[in-house]
Amino acid sequence: MQEKSVAIDGPAGAGKSTLARALARELGYLYVDTGAIYRTVALRAWEAGADPSDPEQIAPLLKGLDLRMDYGADGVQRMYLSGRDVTEAIRVHQISGLASQVAALPPVRDFLLDFQRRQAMEHDVVMDGRDIGTVVLPHAGAKVFLTAAPEARARRRLLELKQRGQEAELETVLRDIVQRDEQDRNRAVAPLRQAEDAVLLDTTELGLEESLKALISLVKGRLAQ
């Protein structure tokens, strides 16, 4: 069912999750936040005291890893680790950086590839991440590369953190975003890049409603072809 699904890729803080979730509601699709899946693995590594950049320390943690994704009555994707709801725990600032390191490891990407593809086999999905259009769902019916200037993404991420009751400084968030961009673009496995058949959508100068309107128009146009 990949040909009916939607792949949205882009750097950290581009608003992928917010826009992809709203797009899924508009289309009547299932929303899959792959970043949350990697964050859950990162949380497991953090709780185990393992080096998130060392495959020899992370690979053993994947064996028998009880990872589950479900949806609440509100349609929000919830992540479970060993039966524990970690939906909020994976959103703390420390886990963001760890998730990027864990996601660069071949054992982790191999472990989660089938998990992600299975969702698109069972449902029409809007899936967002770093390599959805290039690796996970190469035959998606619509592909969008969503981006914005680092400064704009940092301001949005800071607002999101404050809404969650977390304290952070703009300079720190911006530095982390630039560092994560570098890690994501230069990792050896499935680096962040725009798929050849993806449409670029830069939301630097757009508000949320404008961005969503543009995204819906692009995707519906592609799916209708």
Residue-wise pLDDT tens digits, 81-102 = 999 999 999 988 789 889 989 9
Q: Output the CA–CA distances (angstroms, integers) from residue 143 to 18, 91, 111, in the order listed.
A: 16, 26, 23
Tell whether the model's pLDDT for residue 36 goes beyond 80.
Answer: yes
> Which tokens is 193 given?
């890049």
pLDDT band at 187; cut points 50, 70, 90: confident
Residue 88 main-chain phi, psi, to 5 deg: -85, -35
pLDDT for position 94 = 83
What pLDDT score does 2 carry? 63
- At 75, give phi and psi (nearest 5°): 85, 0
Is the pLDDT higher at 184 or at 200? Answer: 200
Beta strands in the chain (DSSP E): 6-9, 30-33, 67-71, 77-81, 84-85, 125-129, 142-147, 199-202
Q: What is the DSSP string of 31-88?
A: EEEHHHHHHHHHHHHHHHT--TT-HHHHHHHHTT--EEEEE-TT--EEEEETTEE-TT
When comparing pLDDT for 92 and 174, which is higher? 174
Please compute, for residue 195, the number of CA atoms within 13 A of its CA located in the half-sphere on the CB side.
Answer: 25
pTM here is: 0.83
Band (210; pLDDT cuts 50, 70, 90): very high
Split at pLDDT 50, 70, 90, the class of 180 is confident
d(CA 139, CA 132): 10
Residue ranges of domains in the chain, CATH in brackets: 2-223 (3.40.50.300)
| CA 224 to chain CA mean position, Å | 25
